[in-house]
Amino acid sequence: MQAPDFWRLSGFLLAGLVIGALTSATGWCLFFATLIYALTVQSDLNRLLAWVRQHKKNEPPEQAGVFEELTLEIDYLRERHKKRKKKLGSYLKQFQQATRALPDATVILDANDEVRWANDAAKRDLRIRWPEDVGQRVTNLVREPRMRKYIEAKFESGDHTIEIENPADPERQLSVLVVPYGNNQRILVARDVTQLHRANQIRGDFVANVSHELRTPLTVFRGYLETISNQQELAPEAWRSAVEQMTVHAERMGSLVEQLLLLSSLEAEVCVPQPEIVRVADLCAEIHSRASELPDGKDRLFSLEIDGDLAVMGSRAELYDALSNLVFNAVHYTKAKGVIKIRWFRDEQDAVFEVEDDGIGISAEHIPRLTERFYRVESSRHRADSTSGSGLGLSIAKHALARHSAQLSITSEPGAGSTFTVRFPESQICQTDSAEWNQRDAG
């Protein structure tokens, strides 16, 4: 008990005792003294409560003892809270000023994909206004089917992006990234990539045009070379080897031009124009038969594990190009008597195509770059081998597979072999009845 409280209580009790002794009613006097003391304490409490409830800063009531201490403590905490609030308010203001000034559209979404906050660039590029659009679903504000699909996919990592047309200006392109953070919140950032898009388009058009222009003279060139090779009298003995070399290089160049044209056409459109049901088992049979007939005398062993009923929606030609490239690479980079396993199966989530070889393998630093156009491990291994692959096969495969929403992943170890895995998501899968299908084929 604090000293002032002690003296106050003692004072009341003493007064009660004295008056009790004078009036011969000590019990009653002590009772009234205690009652009056309790009422004074209650009155102090009421004053304290009234002061605490006041929102504005008022002078604390003048009190003594424990109430004075309580008042001072509350006053101190109030002051500290006020300063902290002011500081946080200024941080928030600075943060909002900085994010408002960001050139990229930035929108904060809650767990229901509703807008919580947006900067000025979001108003310019996505037509999302803050604070007017707070509480609106972002997919109702940006009405773009791919955006809806992307937002609803709720990717857990921030490494998936999509490109959409700028809703405010269809001539411009935006790259959209959604990153999860905090308590089920997500931050959406849309960056203008029009320049990059144009540069890519110019590069793509340039490659397509050059390839196209090269195609006709090359066809003429190859035609003459074929005629010369077939009619020995046209080429004197001394020129035979030169003609042979020219033929090999013309063939290689022809295949390069065809591959570049294929790549350009794959890049030109994001989706397969007219998807059909593709029975991957049939593709596997065709690829296997071609791969096992290669006349290089390496006599490889093939092991096939194929689900005959599992099919995907897409373009048969594109899937053939992509999957056959993986198998032919396995054949190409495997030594004589090597084993190549081809598997086509369904796991819990996806349909999986897998090619495993026990060939030369690839060291880790090359793996992330294999799907870049013209990237070849051999160019660092032995450059002299100019007649082998072009380095475009995996790039074509990746683009063709991306058009089927499929992902290509590669694992490999030098000297131990490689595994190329393609995963088709649920949305691309369709189940067929192989018996019915075979009957249809026979019909």
CA torsion sign for 258, 261, 267, 269 is: negative
Candidate residues 166, 279, 393, 400; the one interacting with ligand ADP per rule CB under 6 A: 393
- Check binding of 106 to ligand ADP (CB under 6 A): no
For residue 287, which phi and psi values (nearest 5 degrees)?
Answer: -65, -45
Q: Which residues does 323 contact at the CB level (< 8 Å), separation at least 6?
A: 280, 283, 284, 287, 353, 397, 422
Instruction: Please spell the DSSP secondary structure of 135-190, one letter per residue.
Output: TSBHHHHS--HHHHHHHHH--SSS--EEEEEETTEEEEEEEEEEEEETTTEEEEEE
CA–CA gap between residue 149 and residue 168 (Å, rounded): 20
Residue among 71 and 325 whose Cβ is closer to ligand ADP: 325
115 binds ligand ADP (CB under 6 A): no
- Using CB under 6 A as the binding criterion, the count of chain residues that bind ligand ADP stands at 21
Residue nearest to ligand ADP (CB): 389
d(CA 66, CA 88): 33
Residue 301's DSSP bridge partners are: 339
Output the smallest distance, CB 364 to ligand ADP, in A: 13
> Rounded distance, CA 51 to CA 437, Å?
85
Cβ closest to ligand ADP, residue 35 vs residue 317: 317
Is 324 an interacting residue with respect to ligand ADP (CB under 6 A)?
A: no
Q: Which stretch binds ligand ADP (CB under 6 A): 144-152, 206-214, 389-397, 425-433?
A: 389-397
CB of 188 to ligand ADP, least distance (A): 35
Binding of ligand ADP by 163 (CB under 6 A): no
398 binds ligand ADP (CB under 6 A): no
Residue position matching structure tokens 């009619």: 231
- Among 37, 333, 353, 424, contact with ligand ADP (rule: CB under 6 A): 333
Q: Give the footprint of ligand ADP on residues 16-55 (CB under 6 A).
A: none
Stretch that binds ligand ADP, among 58-66, 184-192, 249-257, 393-401 (CB under 6 A): 393-401
Closer by beta carbon to ligand ADP, 141 or else 340:
340
The answer to whether 330 contacts ligand ADP (rule: CB under 6 A) is yes
Residue 358 touching ligand ADP (CB under 6 A): no
418 forms part of the interface with ligand ADP (CB under 6 A)? yes
Between 154 and 337, name the residue whose CB sits nearer to ligand ADP: 337
Residue 370 engages ligand ADP in binding (rule: CB under 6 A) = yes
The whole-angstrom separation of Cα 430 and Cα 278 is 9
Contact with ligand ADP (CB under 6 A) among 325, 344, 350, 422: 325
**321 lies in the site for ligand ADP, by CB under 6 A:** no
- Going by C-alpha positions, the residue among 41, 44, 35 that lies closest to residue 15 is 35
Q: Contact, 278 vs 309, CB < 8 A?
A: no
Site for ligand ADP in 196-235 (CB under 6 A): none
Q: Is 264 in the site for ligand ADP (CB under 6 A)?
A: no
What are the C-alpha distances in Å from 201 to residues 134, 206, 258?
37, 8, 19
65 binds ligand ADP (CB under 6 A): no
- Is there binding between residue 75 and ligand ADP (CB under 6 A)? no
Which residues, 6 or more positions from 172, have their beta carbon under 8 angstroms from its beta carbon?
Answer: 165, 166, 192, 194
Q: Where are the beta strands (DSSP E) in 307-405?
A: 310-314, 339-346, 351-357
Q: Which is nearer to ligand ADP, 172 or 366 (CB)?
A: 366
Q: Binding to ligand ADP (CB under 6 A): which residues in 78-97? A: none
Of 283 and 355, nearer to ligand ADP (C-beta) is: 355
User: Which residue number, 191 or 398, has a Cβ lying nearer to ligand ADP?
Assistant: 398
Among 68, 321, 357, 358, binds ligand ADP (CB under 6 A): 357
Q: Which of 75, 282, 309, 378 binds ligand ADP (CB under 6 A)?
A: 378
CA Rg value for the chain: 40
Least separation in angstroms between residue 162's CB and ligand ADP is 26
- 226 vs 228: CA distance, rounded Å: 5
Reading the block at residue 185, the tokens are 């919140």
Element at 106 (helix H, strand E): strand 105-109
Q: Are 177 and 188 in contact (CB under 8 A)?
A: yes
The residues, ordered by sequence, that sit 6+ positions from 31 with a Cβ below 8 Å of its Cβ are 16
Does 329 help bind ligand ADP (rule: CB under 6 A)? yes
Q: Residues with Cβ < 8 Å from 244, sequence gap 6 or more?
A: 229
* 360 touching ligand ADP, by CB under 6 A: yes
Instruction: List contacts with ligand ADP (CB under 6 A).
Output: 325, 329-330, 333, 357, 359-360, 362, 370, 375-378, 389-395, 418
